[in-house]
Amino acid sequence: MATLFDSVVTEGSIWKGAARLLYADDGTSFPGELESVINPSTYALADGWNDVGGTTEDGVTITREFEGSDGIAVDQLAYPVFEGDPTRWMMSLGSALLETDPDNLAIVFELPAATDVSGSSVEQKKLVFNAPTTLTERMVAAVQQHPENENLRVFVFRQASPTPEAREMVLSKSEGSAGPITFDCSADPAVADADGPFGALYRENAS
Protein backbone atom coordinates (compact mmCIF):
# COMPACT_ATOMS: atom_id res chain seq x y z
CA MET A 1 0.00 0.00 0.00
CA ALA A 2 1.35 3.40 -0.96
CA THR A 3 2.15 5.98 1.71
CA LEU A 4 2.56 9.75 1.67
CA PHE A 5 6.36 9.42 1.88
CA ASP A 6 7.08 6.72 -0.73
CA SER A 7 8.18 9.22 -3.35
CA VAL A 8 10.20 11.52 -1.08
CA VAL A 9 12.28 9.18 1.11
CA THR A 10 15.28 7.55 -0.59
CA GLU A 11 16.76 5.02 1.82
CA GLY A 12 19.92 4.72 -0.29
CA SER A 13 20.67 8.37 0.49
CA ILE A 14 20.40 7.90 4.27
CA TRP A 15 23.80 6.99 5.65
CA LYS A 16 25.07 5.81 9.02
CA GLY A 17 27.97 3.74 10.22
CA ALA A 18 31.54 3.99 11.44
CA ALA A 19 34.14 5.62 9.24
CA ARG A 20 37.70 4.59 8.45
CA LEU A 21 40.07 7.52 8.94
CA LEU A 22 42.98 7.53 6.50
CA TYR A 23 46.05 9.61 5.74
CA ALA A 24 48.31 9.62 2.71
CA ASP A 25 52.07 9.32 2.45
CA ASP A 26 54.04 12.32 1.21
CA GLY A 27 53.97 12.50 -2.58
CA THR A 28 50.62 10.71 -2.98
CA SER A 29 48.56 12.30 -5.74
CA PHE A 30 45.08 13.60 -5.08
CA PRO A 31 42.64 10.86 -6.14
CA GLY A 32 40.53 11.30 -9.23
CA GLU A 33 38.17 8.50 -8.23
CA LEU A 34 37.12 6.44 -5.24
CA GLU A 35 39.27 3.48 -6.29
CA SER A 36 42.40 5.62 -5.97
CA VAL A 37 41.79 5.54 -2.21
CA ILE A 38 40.17 2.17 -1.50
CA ASN A 39 39.10 -0.91 -3.46
CA PRO A 40 35.28 -1.04 -3.21
CA SER A 41 35.27 -4.84 -3.46
CA THR A 42 38.17 -5.95 -1.24
CA TYR A 43 38.39 -2.74 0.88
CA ALA A 44 42.16 -2.79 0.49
CA LEU A 45 43.73 0.66 0.54
CA ALA A 46 45.42 2.01 -2.56
CA ASP A 47 49.17 2.52 -2.51
CA GLY A 48 50.20 5.50 -0.41
CA TRP A 49 47.22 5.40 1.97
CA ASN A 50 47.28 4.40 5.65
CA ASP A 51 44.57 3.64 8.22
CA VAL A 52 44.74 4.98 11.80
CA GLY A 53 42.59 2.09 13.05
CA GLY A 54 39.87 2.22 15.68
CA THR A 55 38.31 5.47 16.86
CA THR A 56 35.94 6.28 19.71
CA GLU A 57 32.17 5.97 19.35
CA ASP A 58 31.98 9.68 18.56
CA GLY A 59 33.24 8.72 15.11
CA VAL A 60 34.63 11.20 12.61
CA THR A 61 33.26 14.74 12.41
CA ILE A 62 33.49 16.86 9.27
CA THR A 63 32.81 20.59 9.66
CA ARG A 64 32.28 23.27 7.02
CA GLU A 65 31.68 26.92 7.89
CA PHE A 66 32.25 30.43 6.64
CA GLU A 67 32.81 33.93 7.94
CA GLY A 68 30.21 36.41 6.75
CA SER A 69 30.82 40.00 5.77
CA ASP A 70 29.58 42.80 8.01
CA GLY A 71 28.35 44.49 4.89
CA ILE A 72 28.66 48.08 3.75
CA ALA A 73 26.79 50.84 5.52
CA VAL A 74 24.87 53.08 3.12
CA ASP A 75 23.85 56.51 4.35
CA GLN A 76 20.56 56.42 2.49
CA LEU A 77 19.53 52.99 3.80
CA ALA A 78 18.59 51.70 7.23
CA TYR A 79 20.51 48.47 6.68
CA PRO A 80 23.89 47.46 5.30
CA VAL A 81 24.24 45.95 1.84
CA PHE A 82 26.14 42.72 1.07
CA GLU A 83 25.80 41.70 4.73
CA GLY A 84 26.50 38.03 5.30
CA ASP A 85 28.32 37.39 2.02
CA PRO A 86 31.05 34.80 2.65
CA THR A 87 34.54 36.24 3.05
CA ARG A 88 36.31 33.06 4.13
CA TRP A 89 35.47 29.36 3.99
CA MET A 90 36.84 26.82 6.51
CA MET A 91 36.67 23.04 6.81
CA SER A 92 37.91 20.61 9.43
CA LEU A 93 37.94 16.90 10.23
CA GLY A 94 38.13 15.55 13.76
CA SER A 95 38.18 12.24 15.62
CA ALA A 96 39.73 10.50 18.62
CA LEU A 97 42.13 7.64 17.92
CA LEU A 98 41.87 4.61 20.18
CA GLU A 99 44.92 2.93 18.67
CA THR A 100 47.57 5.11 20.27
CA ASP A 101 50.66 3.37 18.92
CA PRO A 102 53.76 5.55 18.37
CA ASP A 103 52.90 6.22 14.71
CA ASN A 104 49.42 7.51 15.59
CA LEU A 105 50.67 9.51 18.56
CA ALA A 106 53.15 11.24 16.27
CA ILE A 107 50.13 12.51 14.32
CA VAL A 108 48.06 13.40 17.39
CA PHE A 109 50.83 15.36 19.14
CA GLU A 110 52.61 16.65 15.99
CA LEU A 111 55.87 14.82 16.67
CA PRO A 112 58.67 13.44 14.51
CA ALA A 113 58.25 9.86 13.32
CA ALA A 114 58.98 7.16 15.88
CA THR A 115 62.38 5.51 15.75
CA ASP A 116 63.57 2.08 16.84
CA VAL A 117 65.72 1.86 19.94
CA SER A 118 68.80 -0.24 19.26
CA GLY A 119 70.85 -2.17 21.78
CA SER A 120 68.00 -2.58 24.26
CA SER A 121 67.05 -5.87 25.91
CA VAL A 122 63.45 -5.45 24.65
CA GLU A 123 62.22 -4.32 21.25
CA GLN A 124 60.87 -0.78 21.52
CA LYS A 125 60.18 2.49 19.74
CA LYS A 126 60.90 6.04 20.84
CA LEU A 127 58.98 9.28 20.32
CA VAL A 128 60.55 12.60 21.21
CA PHE A 129 58.42 15.52 22.38
CA ASN A 130 59.97 18.38 20.43
CA ALA A 131 58.80 21.92 19.61
CA PRO A 132 58.38 22.12 15.82
CA THR A 133 58.17 25.54 14.20
CA THR A 134 56.13 24.27 11.24
CA LEU A 135 53.19 21.87 11.02
CA THR A 136 52.96 18.66 9.04
CA GLU A 137 50.52 18.94 6.15
CA ARG A 138 49.02 15.72 4.83
CA MET A 139 46.13 14.51 2.72
CA VAL A 140 43.39 12.83 4.79
CA ALA A 141 40.23 10.90 3.98
CA ALA A 142 37.22 9.39 5.71
CA VAL A 143 35.50 6.32 4.24
CA GLN A 144 31.96 5.31 5.16
CA GLN A 145 29.90 2.32 4.01
CA HIS A 146 26.13 2.34 3.52
CA PRO A 147 24.50 -0.01 6.05
CA GLU A 148 22.26 -1.77 3.50
CA ASN A 149 23.58 -1.55 -0.06
CA GLU A 150 27.25 -1.60 1.13
CA ASN A 151 28.23 1.22 -1.22
CA LEU A 152 31.11 3.45 -0.16
CA ARG A 153 31.58 7.17 0.03
CA VAL A 154 34.95 8.80 0.51
CA PHE A 155 35.59 12.34 1.75
CA VAL A 156 39.09 13.46 0.73
CA PHE A 157 40.84 16.65 1.88
CA ARG A 158 43.91 17.98 0.10
CA GLN A 159 45.76 19.87 2.83
CA ALA A 160 45.17 18.91 6.46
CA SER A 161 47.26 20.09 9.39
CA PRO A 162 46.57 19.90 13.14
CA THR A 163 44.63 22.71 14.77
CA PRO A 164 46.27 24.51 17.73
CA GLU A 165 43.93 23.50 20.57
CA ALA A 166 45.18 21.30 23.41
CA ARG A 167 45.25 17.52 22.98
CA GLU A 168 44.31 15.60 26.11
CA MET A 169 44.92 11.86 26.41
CA VAL A 170 43.67 10.33 29.66
CA LEU A 171 45.52 7.29 31.04
CA SER A 172 42.83 5.46 32.99
CA LYS A 173 41.76 1.93 33.92
CA SER A 174 38.12 2.66 33.10
CA GLU A 175 38.34 3.60 29.42
CA GLY A 176 40.60 3.52 26.41
CA SER A 177 43.31 6.18 26.26
CA ALA A 178 42.13 7.94 23.13
CA GLY A 179 44.21 10.52 21.29
CA PRO A 180 42.01 13.36 20.00
CA ILE A 181 42.92 15.02 16.72
CA THR A 182 41.33 17.79 14.68
CA PHE A 183 42.67 18.72 11.27
CA ASP A 184 42.32 22.14 9.71
CA CYS A 185 41.53 21.24 6.10
CA SER A 186 42.72 24.25 4.16
CA ALA A 187 42.14 25.12 0.52
CA ASP A 188 44.92 24.58 -1.99
CA PRO A 189 45.35 27.94 -3.76
CA ALA A 190 46.77 26.19 -6.81
CA VAL A 191 43.47 24.35 -7.44
CA ALA A 192 40.62 26.05 -9.28
CA ASP A 193 37.38 26.51 -7.35
CA ALA A 194 35.53 24.25 -9.79
CA ASP A 195 38.00 21.45 -9.04
CA GLY A 196 37.55 21.60 -5.28
CA PRO A 197 40.47 23.38 -3.60
CA PHE A 198 39.47 21.84 -0.22
CA GLY A 199 38.94 18.35 -1.59
CA ALA A 200 36.13 16.16 -2.90
CA LEU A 201 33.53 13.56 -2.06
CA TYR A 202 33.29 10.35 -4.09
CA ARG A 203 30.15 8.26 -3.63
CA GLU A 204 29.41 4.88 -5.14
CA ASN A 205 26.03 4.98 -6.89
CA ALA A 206 23.26 2.99 -5.22
CA SER A 207 22.68 -0.41 -6.80
In this model, does residue 207 exceed pLDDT 70? no
Model pLDDT for residues 91-147, shown as the tens digit of each residue: 999 999 999 999 999 999 999 999 999 988 999 999 999 999 999 999 999 999 999
In this model, does residue 13 exceed pLDDT 90? no
Model pLDDT for residues 151-183, shown as the tens digit of each residue: 999 999 999 999 999 999 999 999 999 999 999
Instruction: State residue 5's pLDDT score.
Output: 76
Instruction: State residue 97's pLDDT score.
Output: 96
pTM above 0.75, yes or no: yes
CA angle 32, 37, 39 (to 5 degrees): 115
The answer to whether 171 touches 177, Cβ cutoff 8 Å, is yes
Alpha helices by DSSP H, listed for the chain, are: 102-108
Average pLDDT, integer, range 69-91:
84
110-122 burial, b for 16+ CB within 10 Å, e for fewer? bbeebeeeeeeee
Listed as own residue / partner, the contacts of 36-42 with beta carbons closer than 8 Å and 24 or more positions apart are 37/141, 37/143, 37/154, 37/156, 37/202, 38/143, 38/152, 38/154, 40/151, 40/152, 40/204
Mean pLDDT rounded to a whole number for the chain? 92
Question: Rounded distance, CA 125 to CA 116, Å?
Answer: 4
Residues 6+ apart with CB under 8 A from 110: 132, 135, 136, 162
